[in-house]
């Protein structure tokens, strides 16, 4: 079998729903099927973008982070990530599996923080041009489930995880709205044991790439 051209797959959803875990699973599965795979994340993915991530996620600054500054930093990191990693990998025929992308900006900064959605769309066009994910796997689980899973890890709570439930409910409404708008977004029931989640992910990938 000749492996097909590169594909851009993004994973989206609330906190702790299983994105990192399932990206690793899908990367292994695709490699077993003969594809070259790059896994990455946002904000982050390159040296400079990871430095921006550190500031965005840092739990405490001596001054509050302005919503517009937060938005622009997300897109600054994304511009760096696209030029430094995502576009070269796709051009080389690799599959890029990315933990969050612009749908997170619309959901978190737009629906969560209340930043004007049309302004985010303008920035999106400026930074991405016409590049969109081929497929977005939206892992859906109740807020309490994601929180319980995330709290099982040793990491310190970051600036977003410290938000109240009402913020995350708006974020989830954002993902719901985006999924209604874009056919590339496929909802995956992440409120089930991992084998079921992974079966649904493989099904979505086979629909995208019937040769697999
Ligand atoms: N952000 C990001 C914005 O505000 N705007 C933007 O534009 C972008 C790009 C990034 C933060 O930045 C914000 C959103 C975020 O708050 P992050 O570190 O990427 O921060 O945070 P999360 O996306 O929340 O990532 P997490 O690592 O917290 O969660 P994951 O990756 O979804 O979950 P994962 O895989 O680590 O799993 C958590 C635990 O659950 C278990 C796993 O084994 C693990 O222990 N698990 C399951 N257990 C049982 N059943 C299942 N089905 C399970 N799936 C996973």
List per-block mean pLDDT (blocks of 10 residues) for the chain, which spans 212 residues: 75 96 98 97 98 96 96 98 98 98 98 98 98 98 93 80 94 98 98 98 97 92
* Owner of token pair 């051009």: 91
Domain assignments of the chain as residue spans, ordered by start: 8-208
Nearest residue CA, atom 47 of ligand 1?
18
Position 155 scores a pLDDT of 72
Position 3 scores a pLDDT of 47
Between vectors from CA 73 to CA 72 and to CA 79, what angle results, nearest 5°? Answer: 90
194-199 long-range contacts, CB within 8 A, separation 24+: 194/18, 194/21, 194/22, 194/25, 197/18, 197/22, 197/139, 198/22, 198/25, 198/26, 198/29
- For residue 43 and ligand 1, the question of a CB distance below 6 A is answered with yes
Residue to mutate, 14, 18, 24, ligand 1, most ligand atoms under 8 Å from C-beta: 18
Residue 26, both tokens: 């899908």
Q: Length of the chain in residues, anyone?
A: 212
Position 64 scores a pLDDT of 95
Position 39 scores a pLDDT of 98
CA distance 92 to 115: 36
Position 189 scores a pLDDT of 98
Q: What is the pTM of this model?
A: 0.97
Position 154 scores a pLDDT of 60
Report the atom number in ligand 1 closest to the C-alpha of 14. Answer: 24
Residue to mutate, 10, 11, 13, 21, ligand 1, most ligand atoms under 8 Å from C-beta: 21
Position 4 scores a pLDDT of 54
162-168 long-range contacts, CB within 8 A, separation 24+: 162/59, 163/112, 167/112, 168/14, 168/15, 168/112, 168/143
- For residue 197 and ligand 1, the question of a CB distance below 6 A is answered with yes
User: If you ran DSSP here, which 8-state letter would residue 136 be given?
Assistant: E
Range 8-208 has CATH code 1.10.150.530: no
- For residue 94 and ligand 1, the question of a CB distance below 6 A is answered with no
């Amino acid at each position: 079998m000749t492996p097909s051209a590169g594909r851009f797959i993004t994973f989206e959803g609330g906190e702790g729903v299983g994105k990192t875990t399932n990206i690793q699973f899908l990367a292994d599965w695709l490699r077993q099927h003969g594809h070259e795979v790059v896994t990455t994340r946002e904000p982050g993915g390159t040296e400079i973008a990871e430095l921006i991530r550190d500031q965005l996620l840092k739990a405490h600054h001596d001054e509050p982070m302005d919503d517009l500054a937060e938005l622009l930093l997300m897109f600054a990191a994304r511009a760096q990530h696209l030029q430094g990693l995502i576009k070269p990998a796709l051009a080389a025929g690799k599959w890029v599996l990315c933990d969050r992308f612009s749908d997170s900006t619309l959901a978190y900064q737009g629906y969560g923080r209340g930043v004007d959605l049309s302004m985010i769309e303008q920035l999106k066009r400026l930074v991405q041009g016409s590049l969109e994910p081929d497929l977005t796997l939206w892992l859906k689980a109740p807020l309490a489930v994601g929180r319980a899973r995330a709290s099982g890890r040793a990491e310190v709570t970051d600036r977003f995880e410290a938000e109240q439930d009402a913020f995350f409910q708006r974020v989830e409404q954002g993902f719901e709205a985006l999924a209604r708008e874009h056919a590339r977004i496929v909802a995956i029931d992440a409120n089930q044991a991992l084998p079921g989640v992974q079966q649904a992910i493989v099904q979505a990938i086979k629909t995208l790439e019937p040769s697999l």
